[in-house]
Amino acid sequence: MPKDGHFVNRSSWLRAAILGANDGIVSTASLLVGVVAAGMDRSGILLTGLAGLTAGAFSMAAGEYVSVSAQSDTEAADLKRELRALEEDPDYELEELAQGLEARGVEVGLALTVARQMTEHDALDAHAREELGMTELSSSNPLEAAMASALSFAVGAGLPLAGVILAPSGQTTVVVALLTLMALVVLGGFGARLGGAPMRPAVQRVLVWGSLAMVVTALVGRLFGVVAA
């Protein structure tokens, strides 16, 4: 448990890491199960898995970086507009801040006093927190999200890929599926533990969706494949 007893300070990188690991495990396992069901030989299966790992890691990194950068740009634009409003009409902004505090339960007279003190200390920070809901903990970090997502995807994708290497002949699908489900259980429990959330719902979610993905891609592979694995 963190020193301050809270888990929200982990949310920015935890979301990207859990998403990346889950996507790496599920997408790679599903891809492998699909090509096995289609009758591809072991070397082709390994090459497909390695290509999926590489492409997926870069795709996750790019997607996280672009999306979080867009969020950062929006936050910066909001702060710029708020700063301009503070310069053009500080009295209105002070009243707006006081009203926001009143809406949260602060007494009318005290709310105005607190609003003045907050404005004198750091007007932009006060409005960013109270009006826009922006704090240092919630601020976006595109590079951190991209790196966490790419690394966790690669680690996650490596697990089902290892199953292909370790599986005896004719048992690839079974080994990959079992290894994938075990990895999803660990991921769901670990993510819940890090986030301070209940483990059972987290584990159930990843198991259901992971199993569904593998079943569907196996059916697609068998439907369009030439040789049954």
19 within a domain of the structure (yes/no) = yes
Crossing angle of helices 142-166/42-88, nearest 10°? 170
Model-wide pTM > 0.85: no
Cα dihedral 158, 164, 168, 170, rounded to 10, equals 150
Q: 169: how many CB neighbours lie within 10 A of its CB? A: 6
What is the residue range of 205's domain? 8-62+149-224
Query: What is the per-residue DSSP string for 153-173?
Result: HHHHHHHHHHHHHHSPTT-HH
Q: What pLDDT, on a 0 to 100 scale, did the predictor assign at position 28? A: 94
pLDDT digits (tens, 9 = 90+) for 150-180: 999 999 999 999 999 988 988 999 999 999 9
42 within a domain of the structure (yes/no) = yes
124 within a domain of the structure (yes/no) = no
98 within a domain of the structure (yes/no) = no
Q: Which among 164, 217, 145, 146 is positioned nearest to 50, based on CA atoms?
A: 164
- Spans of the chain, pLDDT less than 70: 1-14, 132-140, 195, 225-229
Count: domains in the chain: 1
Q: What pLDDT, on a 0 to 100 scale, did the predictor assign at position 229? A: 40
Q: Residue 94 and residue 103: Cα distance in Å, rounded?
A: 14
